[in-house]
Amino acid sequence: MTPMRSVRALEASPGIARARRRVPENPISDLFFGMTTAASSPTREQPYVLGTGNDESFRLGLQHRLWSNAAFDLWLRAGVQPGMRVLDLGCGPGHASLDMAQIVGAEGRVVGVDESAAFLKQLGQESEARKLHNIDRVLGDAQKLDHCLPSPATDDYFDIAYTRWVFCFVASPSEVVKGLRRVLRPGGKLLIQDYFNYEHSITLAPRREAFSRAIAAVGQSWRARGGNPDIMGELPRMLRRNGFTIEHLDVRQRIARPGTSMWQWPWTFFNSFLPKLVESGFLAKSDCDAALKEMADAITDDGAYMLLPPVFEIIAVKE
Ligand SMILES: C[S@@+](CC[C@H](N)C(=O)[O-])C[C@H]1O[C@@H](n2cnc3c(N)ncnc32)[C@H](O)[C@@H]1O
C-alpha cells in the first residue's frame, strides 16, 4: 500500500505558515499513519454496511456526479476558498475531496479521513493521477477523531469540515460532533449533507409492494449496525448542544424518471445493495427479486417515477 501522507507532511507545505506557528514540533505523524496495516488500524468492528468493493466505489463516483451540484452550492454558500484547510470526514474514495482540493488550491489543504483503507488507496491513486499534492489521507474512525487527528496538534485546525452520507452510518453521532468541534477553528464551518425520513420517502410511483418492503429492509440493515437513516432529524439539536450555531438548514428532494441520468442513482444502489441484504438475512430472496423486477418494469412504464430520499444540508458555525 502506498504510504499515506501525514499531517506532518501537511505542515511542511510552504503555504501553511499559520499551521507551522501553531502546531507543536512534537511529531504526530506516527499516530496518523502508523495505520497502514490492518493490525494497527483503529477502525470499527462493524464495517461500512454498503461495503468497500469496486461496485460500491463505482456507485459512489456516480452518486457524487449526480449530487455534485448540491455539494458545490453548499461549498460556495459556506465560502470554501483558496488557502483553506478542509477536512472531508468519511471521504470514501474522495470524489468530493478531489474537487475541494482544486478549490482550495496549492496554498490550501484537504485531509480525507475514512475507515476504509481500500477507499483511501483509491483517493491516493486519483490524486496522483490528477497531480493534486494538497491532499492528506488518514485512516480512522470518525467517532474517534482523537485517535486519528490527535490533540493538541489538530485543535482549532480546520476552516471547514465537510461530511456527506456518513452520519447516517455511525452509532455515536455525538462523538463525531464533539471531535469535529475540537478540530474546527472558532468560526470554522461544519457542512453536512445527509438523510432524514429516508425509509418513508423513497417510493416508486405508482406504489409497489415489494419495493416498499425492500426500503424497510435497507433501513433495518443500517440501524442494525448502529446507523440511523433519520439522523438529520437529530443533528441540528445535537449541534446546538455542542457549541454550534446553525447558519443554514435546507433540504433537496428530487425525483428520478426512468431514462434520466438521476434514475441511475436508485438503479445502481438497489441492484447492488438488495442482493447483499438477502445474503445478510434482512430481505427475502423473493422480495429482492420482486423489488428489482418492479424497478425494471418501471423503465417501460411511461408514467412511472421514483421519489428519492431527501438530502438535508446544514452549515453549522463553531461558536
Ligand atoms: C456513503 S459513503 C460516502 C462517501 C463520501 N463522503 C461521499 O459523499 O462520496 C460513506 C463513507 O463513510 C465511511 N464511514 C462510515 N462510517 C465511518 C466511520 N465510523 N469512520 C470513518 N469512516 C466511516 C465509509 O467507509 C464510506 O467511505
Q: Please tell me the distance between residue 207's alpha carbon and the centre of ligand 1 in angstroms.
A: 31
Q: Show the low-confidence residues of the chain (pLDDT under 70).
A: 1-47
Residue 44: predicted pLDDT: 58
Q: Please tell me the distance between residue 167's alpha carbon and the centre of ligand 1 in angstroms.
A: 8
Residue 33: predicted pLDDT: 40
Going along the chain, which residue ranges are E strands? 85-89, 109-114, 135-139, 158-164, 184-195, 203-205, 244-252, 255-256, 305-307, 311-318
Q: Residue 128 is part of which domain span?
A: 7-197+226-253+310-318
CA nearest 190: which of 233, 154, 160, 145? Answer: 160
Q: Which of ligand 1's atoms lies nearest the C-alpha of 193?
A: 8
Q: Is residue 142 part of a domain?
A: yes
Q: Is residue 13 part of a domain?
A: yes
Question: Which grid cell is 83?
Answer: 488557502
Q: Is residue 264 part of a domain?
A: no
Tell how strand 184-195 and strand 311-318 pair up: antiparallel
Tell how strand 255-256 and strand 305-307 pair up: antiparallel
Q: Which of ligand 1's atoms lies nearest the C-alpha of 116?
A: 25
Q: Please tell me the distance between residue 49's alpha carbon and the centre of ligand 1 in angstroms.
A: 10
CATH of the domain at 147: 3.40.50.150
Identify whether the C-beta of residue 277 lies closer than 8 Å to the C-beta of residue 221. Answer: yes
Q: Is residue 303 part of a domain?
A: no
Q: Is residue 169 part of a domain?
A: yes
Ligand 1 site residues, Cβ closer than 6 angstroms: 44, 48, 60, 64, 90-92, 95-96, 114-116, 119, 141-143, 164-166, 169-170
Q: Is residue 276 part of a domain?
A: no
Q: Please tell me the distance between residue 256's alpha carbon and the centre of ligand 1 in angstroms.
A: 24
Q: Which of ligand 1's atoms lies nearest the C-alpha of 71?
A: 8
CA nearest 22: which of 145, 134, 155? Answer: 155
Residue 78: predicted pLDDT: 98
Q: Please tell me the distance between residue 88's alpha carbon and the centre of ligand 1 in angstroms.
A: 10
With 0.95 as the threshold, say if the pTM is over it: no
3-class SS at 315? strand
CA nearest 198: which of 222, 229, 224? Answer: 229
Residue 43: predicted pLDDT: 53
Q: What phi and psi values does residue 119 have, to the nearest 5 degrees?
A: -65, -40
Q: Is residue 165 part of a domain?
A: yes
Amino acid at 78: A
When divided into structural domains, the chain yields a total of 1
Q: Please tell me the distance between residue 91's alpha carbon and the centre of ligand 1 in angstroms.
A: 6
Q: Is residue 244 part of a domain?
A: yes
At 183-201, the pLDDT tens digits run 999 999 999 999 999 999 9
Q: Which of ligand 1's atoms lies nearest the C-alpha of 63?
A: 9
Residue 83: predicted pLDDT: 98
Share of the chain above pLDDT 90, in %: 81
Q: Which of ligand 1's atoms lies nearest the C-alpha of 143?
A: 19
Q: Please tell me the distance between residue 144's alpha carbon and the centre of ligand 1 in angstroms.
A: 14
**Best residue among 115, 225, 269 to mutate for probing ligand 1, ranked by most atoms within 8 Å of CB:** 115
Identify whether the C-beta of residue 222 lies closer than 8 Å to the C-beta of residue 192. Answer: no
